[in-house]
Copies of this chain bind each other. A is one copy, B any other.
Amino acid sequence: MNTPDYTIQYRNSDLGQTGLFFYNSAPDLAALYPSESVAATGRFFVTDTAVAALPCMKDFISRFTLSGDTGCRNKDLLLVITAGETYKTIDTVLRIAKTALEHNLGRKSLFVAIGGGVVSDLTAFAASIFKRGAGLEIVPTTLLAMADAAVGGKTGCDFGAYKNMLGTFYPARRIHFYPAFLRTLPEGEYRSGLAEALKTGLLFNAGLFDLFKAGKKKLFENESAMIRACVMAKAKIVEEDVTEEGPRMLLNFGHTFAHALESVVGLGKVSHGDAVAWGMGRALDLSVRLGLCAPAYRDEVYAVLAAYGWETGPVHPALAAQITDMPAVLIEAMKKDKKNSSEKIRVILQKGLSDTVIQEVAEDRIRVVLAGG
């Protein structure tokens, strides 16, 4: 194994370290996990049907003779789960654990998640509860997973109609970044990841926001730099506060609105990134209405949101028009959000670029930025 490009050291924590590896080459899982290097403790690769079908995965997948969705070869085990946010359930987590159990994996075995945020969140959750914790590595294949989900140790699954209600803090030991994976992504999924990258820019990196303002072409030319900027910004935050007692909460910018939207429209009906992008617009509108931030900054962000195809208005198009009092429904969903500990709703707001605050806001103030017409 090479030396990592960076190692995340979780302060005041025994969650260990996470080595970050950036590759300019085309993804080659067969080379990253050579079949001759299998430890006696076993490796367990988990991916989904979409990733398993990619041409760049062919050599690696062909190593296994699949029986149903599971394949073995020596001490290596592969499970291919069905792709999609609707499968981000506790049932899938338990399926991963059950497969590991049936193949006699132990707590010293290595779970390897190869996929987007759904695959990595589920696999990491399963690894964290399997015999009280097995080894974990992640190969993120989407922009969302690279820029956000894979880094920082949050694991989880949806439960009932609510996002990520169950989960643990359990960082991977190593994360392998191949930006070339992104050439395999549908446009909608790519855009979903861009929203988290834009969030990073607004919160921590004015240069990254400038890159967004410079337009899509310029941004894509600098894709690897964008990913690294996101990963490093997140690495710095989680080093200080992996369990989200303090500064890590800033990363929820846009997310109180986004999670409510995703719950109300039904999980999987709107991409997480599109929801977050809309949520950031709502958070900035709220910031303006609370007198925290100048309208000019909000409008500058609105312009970027619109340029990348995101909704800037109070009513997201995915919201069914027939529901009476949609703001009340969204606010009810916000109250179920796990970051809320009291009657008021905690929202991440901005006074301006790179100037972020956490505030508990009364329902009626939030209602205003959700009401159309």
**Interface residues, chain A, CB within 8 Å of chain B?**
12-15, 40-41, 90, 94, 97-98, 101, 104, 106-108, 125, 128-133, 154-156, 159-160, 162, 165-169, 243-244, 335-336, 338-343
Contact = CB atoms under 8 A, between A and B. Distances in A.
A155 B97 CA distance: 16
B106 A340 contact: yes
16 contacts: A40-B342, A40-B343, A90-B94, A94-B159, A97-B159, A97-B165, A97-B166, A101-B162, A101-B336, A104-B336, A106-B338, A106-B341, A107-B338, A129-B168, A131-B166, A132-B156
Contact of A165 (B130, B162, B243): B130
Contacts of A243: 14, 132-133
Secondary structure call for the A interface: loop
A160 B132 CA distance: 16
Contact of A169 (B108, B132, B342): B132
A14 B243 CA distance: 10
A128 B168 contact: yes
A132 B338 contact: yes
Contact of A168 (B41, B101, B132): B132
A88 to B, nearest CB: 15
9 interchain residue pairs of minimum CB distance: A131-B338, A108-B341, A13-B14, A106-B341, A129-B166, A132-B167, A107-B338, A41-B341, A40-B342
Nearest to A342: B40
Nearest to A338: B131
Contacts of A165: 97, 101, 130-131
Contact of A167 (B41, B108, B129, B340): B129
B169 A133 contact: yes
Contacts of A15: 14
Given A101-B165, A107-B338, A131-B338, 5 more contacts: A98-B160, A101-B336, A106-B341, A133-B169, A168-B168
Nearest to A106: B341
A209 B97 CA distance: 40
Contacts of A155: 132
Contacts of A101: 159-160, 162, 165, 336
A108 B342 CA distance: 9
A202 to B, nearest CB: 24
Contacts of A342: 40-41
A166 B336 CA distance: 26
Contacts of A128: 168
A101 B151 CA distance: 26
